[in-house]
Amino acid sequence: MMIFSPANLKRLFFTLIVAAVIAIMTGAAGSSTAPPTTGVHGSFLERVSWFGLFAAPRWLLFATLGVIVWLIVSLYRPRAKTIRGGIDHVLAFPKEIAARKPTRVTLIAIALIVVILLPKFVHESFWMFLIVEQIGVWILLALGLNVVVGFAGLLDLGFAAFYAIGAYTTAWFTGALPMPALFHHPIPTLWVIPIGIVAAMAFGVLLGTPTLRLRGDYLAIVTLGFALIIDDFVETQSGVTGGGVGSSPIPHPSLNLGFWHFHWGISEPPYYYLCLLFVVVFIIVFTSLEHSRIGRAWVAIREDEVAAESVGINPLKYKVMAFAVGAASGGFGGVMSAGLVGIITPGLFTYQVSVNVLVLVIFGGMGSIWGVALGAIVIQTVTSYLDNYQPWGYQINDLFMYIGALLIIMMIFRPAGLLPSKRRRREFAMAEGGEEIHTDEVLSGEQP
Amino acid sequence: MGFEHFWLSGFDQIHVAFWRYLAVGLQNGAVYAMIAVGYTLVYGVLGLINFAHGEVFMCGGFAGVFLTRGILGDRVGSGWGSVGLVLAGIIVGGLVSALVATGVQQVAYKPLRKRHAPKLAFLISAIGASFFLQTLAGKEFGYGVNIFPGQVFEPGQVMFTIFGTPINTITVVSIIAALVMVVVADRIVRATRLGRGIRAVSQDAETSSLMGVNIDRTITITFILGGALAGAAGFLYSLQSGIVQNAGTEIGIYAFTAAVLGGIGNLRGAALGGLFIGLFGSFSVPFAFEGNVQWTEIYTFLILVLVLMIRPTGILGEKSGRTA
Pick from A40, A218, A443: CB nearest B46: A443
With an 8 Å Cβ cutoff, is B132 touching chain A?
yes
The identity of residue B273, as a single letter, is: G
Residue with the bigger pLDDT between B63 and B152: it is: B63
More confident residue, B6 or A104: A104
- Give the pLDDT of chain A (448 residues) as one tens digit per residue: 567 777 777 788 888 888 888 877 777 777 777 777 777 777 777 777 766 677 777 777 788 888 888 888 888 777 777 888 888 888 877 777 777 778 778 888 888 888 777 777 777 777 777 777 778 888 889 999 998 888 888 888 888 888 888 888 888 888 777 666 666 667 777 778 888 889 888 988 888 888 787 777 788 888 888 888 888 777 777 777 776 666 777 777 766 666 666 666 666 677 788 888 888 888 888 888 888 888 888 888 888 888 888 888 888 888 898 889 988 888 888 888 887 777 788 878 888 888 889 888 888 888 888 888 888 888 888 888 887 777 776 777 788 888 889 889 888 888 877 777 777 777 777 766 655 444 444 334 333 3
Residues within 8 A of A (CB atoms), B 224-253 only: 249-250, 253
* Residue B233 reports pLDDT greater than 90: yes
Tell me which of B286 and A158 has the higher pLDDT: A158
Residue type at position A386: L
DSSP B146: -
Contacts of A394 in chain B (CB under 8 A): none
**pLDDT recorded at residue B132:** 92
Select the more confidently predicted residue: A365 or B159.
A365
> Which of B45, B118, B130 has the CB atom closest to A428's CB atom?
B118
Residue B127: strand, helix, or coil: helix
**Interatomic CA distance for residues A276 and A206, integer angstroms:** 29
Pairwise CB contact (< 8 Å): A404 & B107: no
Give the predicted TM-score (pTM) of the model. 0.84
CA-to-CA distance for B80 and A340, rounded, in angstroms? 62
pLDDT above 70: residue B322? no
| CA–CA distance, B50 with B127 (Å, rounded to integer) | 9
Quick check: A225 and B119 CB within 8 A? no
A 54-113 residues with CB below 8 A of B?
A: none
Q: Is A39 on the interface with B (CB under 8 A)?
A: yes
**A67: number of Cβ within 10 Å:** 14
Residue B8 has pLDDT above 60, yes or no: no
CB spacing of A401 vs B253 below 8 angstroms = no
Q: With CB atoms and an 8 Å threshold, state whether B120 touches A432.
A: no
| % of chain B with per-residue pLDDT over 70 | 90
| Inter-chain touch B216–A440, beta carbons under 8 Å | no
CA dist A282 → A33, A114, A326, B202, B279 (Å)? 49, 19, 10, 44, 47
Q: What is the ipTM score, two decimals?
A: 0.84
Distance from the Cα of A49 to chain B's closest Cα (Å) equals 23
CA distances from A261 to A254, A257, A271, B226, B249 (A): 8, 6, 15, 64, 49
Q: What are the chain B neighbours of A156 within 8 Å (beta carbons)?
A: none
pLDDT for B94 equals 92
Rounded to a whole number of angstroms, the distance from the CA of A1 to the nearest CA of chain B is 26
Q: What is the pLDDT of residue B208?
A: 82
The residue length of chain B stands at 324
Whether residue A408 and residue B128 make contact (CB cut-off 8 A), yes or no, is yes
